Structure 1
Amino acid sequence: MSGTRRARWGLVTTTGVLTGFGHGFAAFAVSALLKPISADLDTGRGAISVAIGLGRLVSGLVSPLVGQITDRKGPRGIVVAGMGTAAVGLIGLAFVRNELELYIAWSLIFSLGVAAGFTVALDKLVVASMPEKRGMGLAVRFSISAILATLIVPVVAAMIEQFGWRQTCAIWGGLMFLLIPVPLIFFPSPQRDRALPGPVQPAQDEPDARSVLRRPAFWLIAAALSAQASVTSGLSVHLVALMTDHGLGPGMAAGIFGGMVLLTVPVRLLAGFLADRIPAARLPLVLSVLLVLEGLAIGSFAVAPGFATMLVVTAALGIAAGAPIVLVLVLCAELFGQSGFGAVQGKLMMIQVPGSMLAPILAGYAHDATGSYVGSIAGFAIILIAGGMVLSNLKAD
């Protein structure tokens, strides 16, 4: 393997590790924190879901700015700043005493750090570094993060049982501080951007971010991705609680949740393999069929609630959290170009905010009102099917 190729895959691996450690905690380990925080602060799951939803709002709103900074200045500085901010937020979370303080620590500080340090900037780095195998590069990046997240969920659950949720958050924040030297050492500085393995200069025929907003293809992708993000967000936050409500112990529930995250690994690798080989014109149809099938699988629980269909929901969530994002990012790079990829992805993440913010909140309050997640899961299935049908109208010429 040549030095340039090793450098490319080294960057891919590094981004996967960082995302798994940081974003994995925010997106998946929070499911293990839901009940302990609710009990400690003497509030309902709906209120905790509000904090999580507001955090997604903050992340979405700041994502376009993160993308623009990454496009102009490179990923190193914004990632370092994000990691430090996220660490401060987690340590602050260990000291919250009421809902307002929870919103400040989680919804504002921690979520701002996650958006800056673990999402758009790292995706742009992979896209710029892997001009020929973007699909597989993204798939490997997300697979590494998924493997770490698989380990994180039961580890966090065990830490909560051993130390309590407050000390768990403080410990994780401290570990995040210790990882800050990684991007400082391995990521290119703005002065070394030309040394990135792969072309980083804008192509003359690539559209800018503003012109992208005038293209119907962008909005069709945004609608479908918003549906997928809403369902993934709503289910992932409440999945451990759903399983424990049906008689599973916290440890087993966390283990099954970890298995769901692990399922995203082969799914993402397969998606990356296909994305590099399927013509861009056919990717929308593949995505459309995938979302519809996922929606039907998730809807099975609403039709016949039980342990078996709960496992079907878990498997469908693993697929929903794995394959679509790889295919979407490759499609966006093909349709809209590389030079403004960060800004385009940032805008897509911002558009996802209403759904990904409201989904866990509404599911939490629906449970508080009815004592069941059946209605919420039925709604999630309908949303996902609708998103797939919308995407079927996209023509990627």
Structure 2
Amino acid sequence: MKSVYTRQAIVTLIVVFGIQFLLSLLIYGVGIIHLALLDVYKKDDASTSVVGSLFINLMSITGPLASYFINRWGCRVTSALGGILLVFGLGASFFAESFWMLMVTNGIIAGIGIGLTVLPCPVAIGYAFPKHSGIAMGITTSAIGVGMLVSGPITQHLLNTYGLRGTFLLSAGIASHVLPCALLLNYSQVKERKAAQNTNRHKHFKTYISLLHSPSYMCVLIGAILWNISYAIIMIHLPSYVVHTGSSREQASFMFTVIGIGTIVSRLTIGLAIGPEGLDPLLLNFGLTAFVGTLIITFPLYITFSFGPLIFASLYGIYSGGLLVFTVPLCLEMAGTDRLTSAVGLWFFLLGLGSLTGPPIAGLVLDVTGSYKYSYILSGLFVLLASGFSLLASIWRESKDEKLQSTEFSLSPMIKEADDFEKVNFDDVLSSREQGVKLLSNNT
């Protein structure tokens, strides 16, 4: 039984790696496609960014829906259903005649599809590797770095060769490879059957309410929302910002390659660092977000230098890439295995709400001020605020642990006295009974 479980865990690791690699090819090409949408539809930056924003952020907003599907039908069915919607949405974008139709096909349908496809991945990892979720997440999320590594050049090549519509059609072909991976996604048949038997709407929503009553978990979620507002801005507007300062589109797409290299190293390193008896993920999350916020705020100061964008891309990849690794370890720590699916679903949902507003805000700031500089300063402030909430969550958790320890300490003498009392009474009863039996036999 142990060997079967090990094989399932290894297959889960490989399959999740493959799914996240394929999806990252599509996700991190959004910034390059954004430039093509500006050229084709001639709309303002804020309106045009809605397409890419929907595509990226519906991936997260569908978290509660995806978690309900996972509890009901398992990771395999949920991920396969998402893959079908993703392929259909991207394929239909080839036939979209208007910008508004593209918002429906590429933004909404494909966005929901990518959400149903990606959420089963961390859930499956959490169940397959409950004690080593950090390193498992580090390995699988490094696939996102590999996808980012090649996403920019591939997307730019497709646009140069086949145009915008052809790129959407070929993207549907790339997405179709998710389906066989999804059919192999099976973390544990026992857990899936148990979840399906216990799932009902009342219990599902009750679990979310219980999660919202955890102050430290809510601080982590608020920090994640703020960080993802900035993350969405970077992913969509970074190519435009770099091109605006004089770089070519090929150089802009190469920045995602540099970021991808950094994220691979970061995710593997952090995955090892937060393993059993490793570093505290909350404090590590605080340090990384504080550095990333400072990096983003100062980016406008050195973007005009020849190597400025590459320096930013290198540091941003190294220090921001590992933040995704914390998702499952923190959810397991604060919610437990029984509520893991709901905790991850709520996490993704609130991330989506944050990053959904990021690109339109940045586009609005750009339209008003005429400069990307101010949107990046605002973005960096959001990340610094996120680091503050991570620190607050750590303090809140420690104070709670101290209360629990003090409660256990104060109860321990009472428990000891109760144990001694029961032991003494039991011994006395036995002794009295033995003496009574001896006395009765002597009298007889």
On whether the aligned pair clears a TM of 0.5, the verdict is yes
Whether the 8 Å contact between 1:305 and 1:374 is mirrored in structure 2 is no
Cross-structure match for 1:171: 170
Cross-structure match for 1:283: 281
Gaps of at least 5 residues in structure 1 are: none
**1:334-370 per-position Cα deviation (integer Å, ceiling 9, x unaligned):** 1211222121111122222332011111222323343
Alignment of 1:188 with 2:186, yes or no, is yes
Cross-structure match for 1:5: 6
Cα distance in 1 for partners of 2:227, 2:63 equals 18
In structure 1, what residue type is equivalent to 2:61? L
**1:273-332 per-position Cα deviation (integer Å, ceiling 9, x unaligned):** 11114568x332221121111111111123444234433432343245411121242111
SS of residue in 1 equivalent to 2:392 = coil
How does 1:130-209 map onto structure 2 within 5 Å?
130-184=129-183, 186-188=184-186, 193-194=189-190, 208-209=207-208
**1:78-136 per-position Cα deviation (integer Å, ceiling 9, x unaligned):** 10110010111111122223221121112210100000012x21110111111221101
Cα distance in 2 for partners of 1:57, 1:289 equals 25
Cα distance in 2 for partners of 1:149, 1:283 equals 24
In structure 1, what residue type is equivalent to 2:371? S
Whether the 8 Å contact between 1:90 and 1:170 is mirrored in structure 2 is yes
SS of residue in 2 equivalent to 1:285 = helix
How does 1:1-397 map onto structure 2 within 5 Å?
4-26=5-27, 28-56=28-56, 58-118=58-118, 120-184=119-183, 186-188=184-186, 193-194=189-190, 208-278=207-277, 282-307=280-305, 308-319=307-318, 321-395=320-394, 396=397, 397=401
In structure 1, what residue type is equivalent to 2:257? G
After superposition, the Cα gap between the structure-2 partners of 1:3 and 1:61, relative to the gap in structure 1 and judged at 3 Å, is closer
After superposition, the Cα gap between the structure-2 partners of 1:194 and 1:148, relative to the gap in structure 1 and judged at 3 Å, is same
Whether the 8 Å contact between 2:60 and 2:352 is mirrored in structure 1 is yes
Whether the 8 Å contact between 1:232 and 1:320 is mirrored in structure 2 is no
Whether the 8 Å contact between 1:64 and 1:344 is mirrored in structure 2 is no
SS of residue in 2 equivalent to 1:352 = helix
**1:252-276 per-position Cα deviation (integer Å, ceiling 9, x unaligned):** 2212212112210110011111111
1:152 CA drift (Å): 2.3
1:177 CA drift (Å): 2.4
Which of the two has greater helix per residue?
A: 2
* Stretch of structure 1 that moved more, 207-216 or 303-312: 303-312
* Stretch of structure 1 that moved more, 307-316 or 6-15: 307-316
Cα distance in 2 for partners of 1:393, 1:80 equals 39
Cα distance in 2 for partners of 1:106, 1:69 equals 22
After superposition, the Cα gap between the structure-2 partners of 1:249 and 1:278, relative to the gap in structure 1 and judged at 3 Å, is farther
Whether the 8 Å contact between 1:154 and 1:251 is mirrored in structure 2 is yes
Cα distance in 1 for partners of 2:217, 2:231 equals 21
In structure 1, what residue type is equivalent to 2:81? A
Cα distance in 2 for partners of 1:244, 1:364 equals 15
* Stretch of structure 1 that moved more, 285-294 or 5-14: 5-14
Cα distance in 2 for partners of 1:288, 1:179 equals 34
- Higher CA-based Rg: 2
1:6 CA drift (Å): 4.4
Cα distance in 1 for partners of 2:57, 2:292 equals 25
1:195 CA drift (Å): 8.3
In structure 2, what residue type is equivalent to 1:194? V
In structure 2, what residue type is equivalent to 1:246? T
After superposition, the Cα gap between the structure-2 partners of 1:61 and 1:298, relative to the gap in structure 1 and judged at 3 Å, is closer
Taking structure 1 as the reference length, the TM-score comes to 0.89
After superposition, the Cα gap between the structure-2 partners of 1:310 and 1:201, relative to the gap in structure 1 and judged at 3 Å, is farther
Cα distance in 2 for partners of 1:175, 1:378 equals 36
1:201 CA drift (Å): 11
Whether the 8 Å contact between 1:52 and 1:357 is mirrored in structure 2 is no
Cα distance in 2 for partners of 1:249, 1:57 equals 27
Whether the 8 Å contact between 1:244 and 1:250 is mirrored in structure 2 is yes
After superposition, the Cα gap between the structure-2 partners of 1:175 and 1:324, relative to the gap in structure 1 and judged at 3 Å, is closer
Q: Percent identity?
A: 18
In structure 1, what residue type is equivalent to 2:90? L
Whether the 8 Å contact between 1:60 and 1:349 is mirrored in structure 2 is yes
After superposition, the Cα gap between the structure-2 partners of 1:95 and 1:365, relative to the gap in structure 1 and judged at 3 Å, is farther
Whether the 8 Å contact between 1:17 and 1:148 is mirrored in structure 2 is no
Q: Report the number of matched residues.
A: 385
Cα distance in 1 for partners of 2:127, 2:196 equals 6
After superposition, the Cα gap between the structure-2 partners of 1:252 and 1:61, relative to the gap in structure 1 and judged at 3 Å, is closer
After superposition, the Cα gap between the structure-2 partners of 1:354 and 1:195, relative to the gap in structure 1 and judged at 3 Å, is closer
* Stretch of structure 1 that moved more, 295-304 or 154-163: 295-304
In structure 2, what residue type is equivalent to 1:42? K
Cα distance in 2 for partners of 1:283, 1:22 equals 26
Taking structure 2 as the reference length, the TM-score comes to 0.80
In structure 1, what residue type is equivalent to 2:93? L
In structure 2, what residue type is equivalent to 1:381? G
